[in-house]
């Protein structure tokens, strides 16, 4: 992909250089095609070899100026930021180098008889042409840079939409799969018979979980407070099912509630802990959620289910990809001292 983009860049640079080389010598070309015109007096003694050499020199000079700007300022890279200071430096440098190249060509013409136009009007036009060439080169480079950044942004947005769709699908699959739905309804049925008031509260929390899961989140981010409100409802459903065998130890500094993270990030980590670990009277599970120093950690002791599979880690990989696309941040996963810990940056 990079090779195709780079080849396209080379093609565009060559096309611009050829076009500008001919346009800047358009008066001389018109004069050669009609030597009896009034312009013929402005360029006396001019030959096709002189104009051809001038056009070739201008073309080569433009290529050198383009590649000089690319080598120094990296206009063809979308990883750097180009501000007005860099543009000003690029403009001044291009103007100086263009002027020096012109003087080198004059030197070659005078000392090595390289064909060139000797007309006085042509020499007077040199500063104007240097200025126009500088504007064209730096303007084109800036346009390349902005166009490349725009295409990268469009690609990342498309990837983000794709990842968000996958995330919503995984969330729906985990929340609405027949097994979980059966467990939730079965728990609700038992509560209705044993404790109608508790059943009403359970139903409210279940509707909150479903509503949050199904909502269309266009911003791709939620505050930690919003996520925790949802997680508390999700935790309530789990604790009604597992009772005292599932515990949560949550410590979050209040000043971090305004920070942001991808929606359903914490729910995914809690779901993974419940899914892949044994939860029983013999081995209760405690999930710890701690937010500090602009990160939030979710950890649990490793107590794998008997005969259970470790899973493919699709949800965690999806979450890490969303962090990269949204914030250019990494998700840290640690497995040490018989504990599994995931650390999420808070934005």
Residue-wise pLDDT for 99-137, tens only, equals 888 888 777 777 777 766 765 655 666 778 888 888 888
Of the two residues 55 and 257, the one the predictor is more confident about is 257
pLDDT at residue 42, as a whole number: 56
Report the alpha-carbon distance of residue 163 to residue 26 in Å, rounded: 53
Of the two residues 307 and 169, the one the predictor is more confident about is 307
pLDDT digits (tens, 9 = 90+) for 282-299: 889 999 999 988 899 999
Q: What's the pLDDT band for 5 if we cut at 50, 70, 90? A: very low
pLDDT at 37 over 70: no
pLDDT at residue 313, as a whole number: 65
pLDDT digits (tens, 9 = 90+) for 174-229: 554 555 667 777 777 777 877 777 778 887 777 777 777 766 555 678 899 988 98
Least confident of 167-171, 194-198, 272-276, 320-324: 167-171
pLDDT at residue 36, as a whole number: 56
Report the alpha-carbon distance of residue 186 to residue 179 in Å, rounded: 10
| DSSP-H helix ranges across the chain | 2-23, 26-33, 48-73, 84-112, 120-176, 178-194, 196-214, 224-242, 265-276, 314-327
Of the two residues 152 and 225, the one the predictor is more confident about is 225
| DSSP-H helix ranges across 113-195 | 120-176, 178-194
Query: What letters, b where the CB count within 10 A reaches 16 and e where it falls short, cover 228-248?
Result: bebbebbbbbbebbeeebbeb
pLDDT at 6 over 70: no
Question: For a pLDDT cut of 70, what percent of the chain falls above it?
Answer: 82
In this structure, the chain runs to a length of 347
pLDDT at 344 over 90: yes
> Tokens representing 87?
């543009």
pLDDT at residue 307, as a whole number: 63
Of the two residues 35 and 144, the one the predictor is more confident about is 144
Q: What are phi and psi of 223, to 5 degrees?
A: -75, 160
Closest CA to 212 of 199, 201, 226, 225: 226
pLDDT at residue 2, as a whole number: 46
pLDDT at residue 176, as a whole number: 46
Q: In the block, which residue shows the tokens 């509260």?
A: 201
| Contact (Cβ atoms closer than 8 angstroms) between residue 322 and residue 312 | no
pLDDT digits (tens, 9 = 90+) for 241-274: 888 899 999 999 889 999 999 888 888 898 888 8
pLDDT at residue 251, as a whole number: 92
Q: What is the mean pLDDT of the chain?
A: 79
């Amino acid at each position: 992909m990079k090779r195709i983009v780079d080849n396209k860049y080379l093609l565009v640079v060559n096309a611009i250089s050829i076009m500008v080389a001919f346009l800047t010598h358009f008066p001389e070309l018109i004069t050669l095609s009609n030597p009896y015109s009034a312009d013929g007096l402005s360029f006396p003694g001019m030959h096709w070899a002189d104009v051809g050499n001038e056009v070739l020199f201008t073309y080569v000079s433009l290529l050198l100026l383009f590649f000089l700007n690319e080598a120094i300022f990296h206009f063809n890279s979308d990883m750097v930021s180009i501000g007005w200071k860099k543009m000003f430096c690029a403009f001044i440098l291009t103007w100086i180098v263009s002027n020096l190249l012109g003087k080198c060509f004059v030197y070659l013409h005078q000392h090595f008889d390289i064909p060139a136009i000797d007309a006085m009007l042509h020499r007077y036009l040199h500063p104007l042409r240097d200025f126009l060439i500088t504007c064209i080169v730096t303007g084109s480079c800036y346009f390349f840079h902005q166009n490349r950044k725009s295409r990268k942004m469009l690609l990342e947005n498309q990837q983000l939409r794709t990842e968000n769709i996958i995330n919503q699908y995984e969330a729906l699959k985990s929340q609405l799969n027949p097994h979980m739905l059966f467990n939730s309804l079965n728990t609700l049925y038992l509560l209705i018979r044993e404790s109608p008031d508790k059943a009403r509260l359970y139903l409210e929390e279940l509707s909150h979980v479903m509503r949050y899961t199904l909502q269309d989140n266009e911003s791709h981010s939620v505050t930690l407070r919003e996520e925790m409100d949802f997680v508390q409802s999700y935790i309530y459903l789990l604790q009604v099912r597992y009772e005292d065998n599932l515990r949560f130890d949550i410590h979050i500094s209040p000043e971090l509630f305004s920070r942001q993270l991808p929606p359903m990030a914490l729910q995914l980590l809690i779901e993974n802990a419940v899914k892949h670990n044994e939860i029983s009277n013999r081995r209760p599970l405690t999930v710890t959620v701690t937010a500090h120093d602009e990160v939030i950690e979710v950890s649990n002791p490793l107590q794998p289910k008997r005969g259970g599979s470790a899973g493919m880690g699709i949800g965690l990989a999806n979450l890490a990809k969303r962090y990269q696309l949204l914030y250019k941040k990494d998700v840290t996963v640690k497995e040490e001292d018989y504990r599994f810990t995931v650390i999420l940056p808070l934005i």
